[in-house]
Copies of this chain bind each other. A is one copy, B any other.
Amino acid sequence: MSMLLDIAGFHAAYIRAIDQDDLERWPDFFADPSFYRITTAANVAEGLEAGVVYADSHGMLRDRITALRRANIYERQRYRHIVGLPALLDTPMRAETPFLVARVMHDGKTDLFATGVYRDEFVTMNGALKLARRDVILDSTRIDTLLAIPL
C-alpha cells in the first residue's frame, strides 16, 4: 500500500475510535513517548509553542480520557469527525490533513463544531503507523468548549 493509503487508513481508524466512544483506545494511536497538542492557527502564525491541550506520553493521554469520563461531558452530545484527504509533506512520514467536527446536541440539533488541520509526524511500529507527533491546529480561536473531546 502507498503511504497515502496507509495514512488514510490510520485517520479513519483514529476518528472511528473517538466517534464510537472507544476513547480508551485513543492512546494506542500514539508512540510513547510522543507529542500531542491542540493549538490554534493564530498561535502557530505567531510561533507560539504552547497549546491549550498538551500531552507527551500514553499516561497523559490516558489521564485525559479518565478526566473526560469523570466529567461525563462527552456523553451529553455526540461528535462526528470528517477527515479530508491527507497531503503528504516533503519530509517523509509527515502529512497534513484537514478535518471538521460536527456536534449533535441532545435535542438533535447539529452544528459545525470545529475545523482545522492535523499536522502529523508518523513512525512505524510493528508494521503499524503511530503518531510521533500530532499538532491539532484549530482554525477558530474560540476553543474553551473544545477541550471536551479528543481531536
Interface residues of A (CB under 8 A from B): 1-2, 4-5, 8-9, 11-13, 15-16, 19, 41, 78, 80-88, 96-100, 102, 104, 107-117, 139-142
> Would B16 and A80 count as touching, CB distance under 8 A?
no
Q: Report the separation of the CA atoms of residues A112 and B111 in the bound assembly, to the nearest whole angstrom.
A: 6
> Would A80 and B139 count as touching, CB distance under 8 A?
yes
> Would A87 and B16 count as touching, CB distance under 8 A?
yes
Using known A-B contacts A2-B1, A15-B98, A16-B87, determine if residue A140 contacts B82 with beta carbons closer than 8 Å: no
Given contacts A82-B115, A83-B85, 18 further A-B contacts (CB under 8 A): A5-B5, A9-B85, A12-B84, A12-B86, A12-B88, A12-B97, A15-B98, A41-B78, A80-B100, A81-B98, A82-B84, A82-B98, A82-B99, A83-B84, A104-B139, A108-B140, A109-B140, A109-B142
Q: Report the separation of the CA atoms of residues A104 and B111 in the bound assembly, to the nearest whole angstrom.
A: 13
Could you say which residues of chain B place their CB within 8 Å of the CB of A82?
82, 84, 98-100, 115
> Would A115 and B140 count as touching, CB distance under 8 A?
no
